[in-house]
Amino acid sequence: MSQVQQTAVGRCWAGFGLTVTVTKCDATRASLRLAGELDAASAPLLAACLEHHLDTGHRFVRANFAGLGFIDTAGLESVSDAHQAFLDRRGTLILTGLNARTRRLVHIVGLDTVLLIAADIDAAAPVA
């Protein structure tokens, strides 16, 4: 089975109030949609999902945060750790769809100068 088949469009990771759905993918890129809450309980789920994408060759991932109703510093820490893992493998993790509260939290903790954040969903490079 190829890596693309292993991470098929529509595949979900779900638990602890968070759902991560693959909306697009090809050999090296994937787009994800997050819904629910990203906090200390659900952060390991997102970390496992992103690690899976790296392990299957998806070094360029776009994560749409528009469906998140809540995110805390533990959730942001997992995103920051994932961002570094993508950079270590010469990839990128681009965040899109951040609401005003999430953008403010990212700024307060100083990650606005670290993370790659697209102004909106369409501003990030499309995944074929």
Q: Mean of the per-residue pLDDT values for the chain? A: 90
pTM of the predicted model as reported, rounded to 2 decimal places: 0.85
Superfamily per CATH, domain 3-123: STAS domain (3.30.750.24)
What pLDDT does residue 46 have?
A: 97
Cα 9 from Cα 53, distance rounded (Å): 12
1: pLDDT confidence band, cut at 50, 70 and 90? very low
The residues, any chain, with a CB within 8 Å of residue 111's CB and separated by 6 or more, are 76, 79, 80
pLDDT of amino acid 12: 86
Q: Where are the domains of the chain?
A: 3-123
Alpha-carbon gap, residue 17 to 62, rounded angstroms: 21
Res. 31 pLDDT band, cuts 50 70 90: very high
3-state secondary structure (DSSP) of residue 125? coil
The pLDDT assigned to 7 comes to 60
CA-based nearest residue to 75, from 87, 92, 58, 63:
63
Retrieve residue 77's tokens. 């820490």
Residue 3 · residue 54 · CB < 8 Å: no
**pLDDT band (50, 70, 90) for residue 2:** very low
Residue 30: the pLDDT is 96
pLDDT at 11: 87
Rounded mean pLDDT, 34-47: 98
pLDDT of 121: 54
- Can you state the percent helix, strand and coil of the chain, rounding each to 5? 40, 30, 30
For the stretch 44-85, pLDDT in tens is 999 999 999 999 999 999 999 999 999 999 999 999 999 999
